[in-house]
Structure formats: structure tokens, C-alpha cells
């Protein structure tokens, strides 16, 4: 007489119940001796198991058998399972999205490189213009210094007077 009944099947074997274990990712599966033998239980494929009916074992997950215990009181086998691998479902949509995002990243990296090249070129132009401005500033300072020296020496007035006299003489001759 069955204590648990035939609620669902795992790998074609009738299973009484499945309980969550005390550790994370651990499950306890109970097979009654009248529905399954130890040899049949040991022969089950657990990565992933074939589930028929409603069961709390996550569909598509793979498991490893940690222990198989026999309870004489309930005449049942208790299989202790640990999650071995998780099935994440159909990821083809995500793979296409990842490919698209990788393409976007590559495109943006190219844009960034182009912008960095343009910035480097403009920085070079700015450096050249700064050097030109510095050179022109030095020339202006030198010319201002020369003018100040000429004015201080009084030569500027002499030069102006000579130029003015030469101009008047040229106008009077040419008439």
C-alpha cells in the first residue's frame, strides 16, 4: 500500500514526493519501494531528469546525486540531489541582442577614436598657434623696446625731423 501515491514520474519511475533540502540547491526525492528499485533509481539520468507531471524540481536543471538512503519505516528510497547546472532557457534572443550591443560598442569605439584623433589634431594646431603668438609677442616687445630706446636717445625726433625735411625738399623740387 502506497503512503505517498503516484503523483508524478521522474525518468519513467513513479515518485511519491520531492522536498527542498536544508542546503541551497538541495532536493530530496522519495521513491516508494513498490514502484522503484535501487537499481532503477541508480540508473536514472539526473542531468537533466525527464519529468512527467507536476514536480517542484526546476525543469531543465541538471542534478548530481549526493546520497541515496533507505527508510525501512516508510519502505522508501530518499535520493538527495544537488543542483549541478542550471538551464537558463532559450537565450537566442539575448544572443542577438548581445551581438547588436557589441556592434554598437565597436561603432562607438570607432567614433571615440575619430574624435580623439580630431582633438589631437586641434591640440597640435593650438600649440602651433600659441608658438606663433609667443613669437609675435616677442617681436612686438622687441620693437617696443627699440622705439623706447630711440625716444629715450632723442633719435626718434631727429629721424622724424630728417624725414620731414626730406619730404619738404622733395615736394619743393618736384613742385
pTM of the model: 0.49
Domain positions in the chain are 8-85, 92-165
C-alpha to C-alpha distances, 51 to 87, 92, 161, nearest whole angstrom: 14, 24, 116
C-alpha to C-alpha distances, 28 to 19, 63, 67, 119, nearest whole angstrom: 5, 11, 9, 65
Write phi, then psi, for 21 (nearest 5 degrees).
Answer: -80, 180
Residue with cell 570607432: 110
Alpha carbon distance 130, 78 (integer Å):
84
Quick one: pLDDT at residue 93? 77
Quick one: pLDDT at residue 104? 94
Q: For every one of its 175 residues, what pLDDT tens digit does the chain have, with 9 covering 90 and above?
A: 567 777 789 999 988 889 998 888 899 999 999 999 999 999 999 888 888 888 888 888 889 999 999 999 989 999 999 998 776 666 777 888 888 999 999 999 999 999 999 999 999 999 999 999 999 999 989 888 887 887 777 776 777 788 888 888 888 887 6
C-alpha to C-alpha distances, 20 to 26, 63, 143, nearest whole angstrom: 6, 13, 94
Amino acid at each position: 500500500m502506497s503512503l505517498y501515491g503516484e503523483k508524478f514520474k521522474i525518468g519513467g519511475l513513479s515518485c511519491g514526493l520531492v522536498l527542498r533540502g536544508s542546503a541551497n540547491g538541495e532536493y530530496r526525492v522519495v521513491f516508494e519501494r513498490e514502484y522503484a528499485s535501487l537499481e532503477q533509481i541508480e540508473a536514472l539520468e539526473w542531468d537533466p531528469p525527464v519529468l512527467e507531471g507536476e514536480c517542484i524540481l526546476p525543469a531543465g536543471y541538471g542534478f548530481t546525486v549526493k546520497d541515496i538512503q533507505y527508510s525501512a519505516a516508510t519502505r522508501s528510497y530518499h535520493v538527495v540531489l544537488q543542483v549541478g547546472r542550471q538551464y537558463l532557457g532559450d537565450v537566442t534572443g539575448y544572443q542577438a541582442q548581445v551581438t547588436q550591443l557589441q556592434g554598437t560598442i565597436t561603432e562607438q569605439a570607432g567614433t571615440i577614436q575619430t574624435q580623439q584623433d580630431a582633438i589631437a589634431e586641434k591640440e597640435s594646431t593650438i600649440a602651433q598657434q600659441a608658438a606663433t603668438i609667443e613669437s609675435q609677442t616677442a617681436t612686438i616687445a622687441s620693437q617696443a623696446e627699440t622705439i623706447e630706446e630711440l625716444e629715450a636717445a632723442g633719435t626718434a625726433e631727429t629721424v622724424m625731423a630728417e624725414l620731414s625735411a626730406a619730404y619738404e625738399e622733395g615736394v619743393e623740387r618736384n613742385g
